[in-house]
Structure 1
Amino acid sequence: MKVLVLFSGGLDSTTALAMAVDKYGNDNVVALSIFYGQRHNKEIEAANAVCDYYKVEHITLDLSTMFQFSDCSLLAKNDDEIPMESYAEQLKKTNGKPVSTYVPFRNGLFLSSASAIALSKGCSKIYYGAHSDDAAGNAYPDCSPAFNDAMNTAIYEGSGRQLTIEAPFIGITKADVVKIGLDLKVPYELTWSCYEGGEKPCGKCGTCIDRTAAFEKNGVTDPLLLK
């Protein structure tokens, strides 16, 4: 079996990539990284480094024009400040809506694009790294089990029943993801999760807070904080 991994260069997608390589071998894994107009290139640089480490084919795709009308705070064209607090704190102010760093239907677009490429590359499965913490409180609704099930049905039927998607972390937490990755000896020092593009993680944005806590729950320090 050949697998395509939707790959950002962050903690979750790198763990998914490691799982795919461990299960299917690097010759049967293709990584797809998508630029969507984010403020920095750190994720893409990290993705390149991780793909070199695992020696997998790496494809990049630019979908930034799809989000030209979005006011998401993650995008380079937006001057709004990225919230420097946990997702739980942010959700207290959204009245049930997603957080400001939610890119409109991003995973839907990513998975649709990945499906076209996966079929062209002879893949029969797509991995992506959605987990339960991201879906909690409707912070990122395109990481929820309901979304995953609906997209899997659409992609399976729309591909002539040749392709399925798998979110191996959909029912577990980020701390659980880190545990899996530590067991697989994932090179987390090569990854990047922070919404800012500095030399070191800011430690204050929602994803930094979640990442740091996930490592701490496993009794270790995030290797990016040791550099």
Structure 2
Amino acid sequence: MTKKGITVLSGGLDSTVATSIYAEEYDLTALTFNYGQQSFDQEVKHAKLLCEKLGMHHAVIDLPWLEHISTSSLTSDEKIPEPSDDDLDDYDAALETAKSVWVPARNTVFCSIALAYAESIHAEIIIVGWDYEEAVTFPDNSKDYLDAFNKTIKYGSFDNIEIKAPLIDMNKEDIVSKGQEVNAPMELSYSCYTGNEKHCGVCESCKRRRRAFIKVNIDDPTEYEK
């Protein structure tokens, strides 16, 4: 019997590469969350393309209440930050951007729902795209958070389920290199915060994505507006 897994799939670069690492070994169900983010339409479009490419089941989870309590620039009319290239490696500047796009307890909510799905279909793993670079300013991307949530699962579930974060020690350049190594369909991924059809090229997510491809000298399949 093929082992089952759940993947938290935004359609972004990180979740695409993380998912691809396990796609051949597991029968995967991908969960894409709608919490009112500006990029949702593009996220779900690209997640569906990824699921078709990798042969995965797909479910969209609507979380309107999370949108209503969030003051994030991702879910409101507040301007999404456009950091400079230097800001990407400036901790204080990057932290301000992180606070602007922060959605309350997002990964905690996502992983709790993913755990419920995993139990319901007897899945063994939950895949997430958390990485070292984003963990610098996003606490719910860190290895400590991963370890804590896996400990919570041991106390809070009858099943032996583990959250797998294969990129947890990687920066964006490592992730792009790993994506090429595992033949991840990175050309189908979407990372932009704005929700435009083409990547804006100026939000932090776009800038980190573009810089990574340049640094590892791998052709970037992304179309940028700027």
Fold conserved (TM > 0.5)?
yes
Aligned to 1:165: 163
Aligned to 2:131: 131
**Identity over aligned pairs, percent:** 35
Aligned to 2:13: 11
Q: Is there any run of 5+ residues in structure 1 with no aligned partner, and where?
A: none
Rounded Cα–Cα distance in structure 2 between residues aligned with 1:9 and 1:56: 13
Q: Does the alignment pair 1:179 with 2:180? A: no
Matches within 5 A, 1:37-116: 37-40=36-39, 41-75=41-75, 78-85=76-83, 86-89=87-90, 91-92=92-93, 98-116=98-116
In the alignment, is the contact (CA less than 8 A) between 2:200 and 2:224 conserved in 1?
Answer: no
Q: Is there any run of 5+ residues in structure 2 with no aligned partner, and where?
A: none
- CA-CA distance at 1:167 after TM superposition: 0.9
In the alignment, is the contact (CA less than 8 A) between 1:125 and 1:166 conserved in 2?
Answer: yes
Query: Of the candidates 139, 144, 151, which is equivalent to residue 153 of structure 1?
Result: 151
Aligned to 1:119: 119
1:157 maps to amino acid: Y
Give a deviation string over 1:160-219, Cα, whole Å, max 9, x none.
242111111111111111111111222222110001122311111000011011111220
Rounded Cα–Cα distance in structure 1 between residues aligned with 2:200 and 2:171: 22
Rounded Cα–Cα distance in structure 2 between residues aligned with 1:226 and 1:113: 33
Cα gap change, 1:135 to 1:99, in 2 (>3 Å): same
Aligned to 2:217: 219
- CA-CA distance at 1:80 after TM superposition: 0.7
Which deviates the most, 145-154 or 216-225? 216-225
- CA-CA distance at 1:67 after TM superposition: 3.4
Cα gap change, 1:147 to 1:226, in 2 (>3 Å): closer
Q: Counterpart of 2:29 in 1: which secondary structure?
A: strand
Q: Does the alignment pair 1:32 with 2:31? A: yes
Which deviates the most, 81-90 or 208-217? 81-90
What TM-score do the two structures reach when normalised by structure 1? 0.90
Rounded Cα–Cα distance in structure 2 between residues aligned with 1:90 and 1:63: 31
Matches within 5 A, 1:191-202: 191-202=189-200
What TM-score do the two structures reach when normalised by structure 2? 0.90
How many residues end up aligned between the 2 structures? 219
- For CA contacts below 8 A with separation 6 or more, give which structure has more relative contact order: 2
- CA-CA distance at 1:99 after TM superposition: 2.4
In the alignment, is the contact (CA less than 8 A) between 1:112 and 1:155 conserved in 2?
Answer: no
Rounded Cα–Cα distance in structure 1 between residues aligned with 2:30 and 2:94: 36
Rounded Cα–Cα distance in structure 1 between residues aligned with 2:98 and 2:188: 29
Cα gap change, 1:174 to 1:226, in 2 (>3 Å): same
In the alignment, is the contact (CA less than 8 A) between 1:135 and 1:144 conserved in 2?
Answer: yes
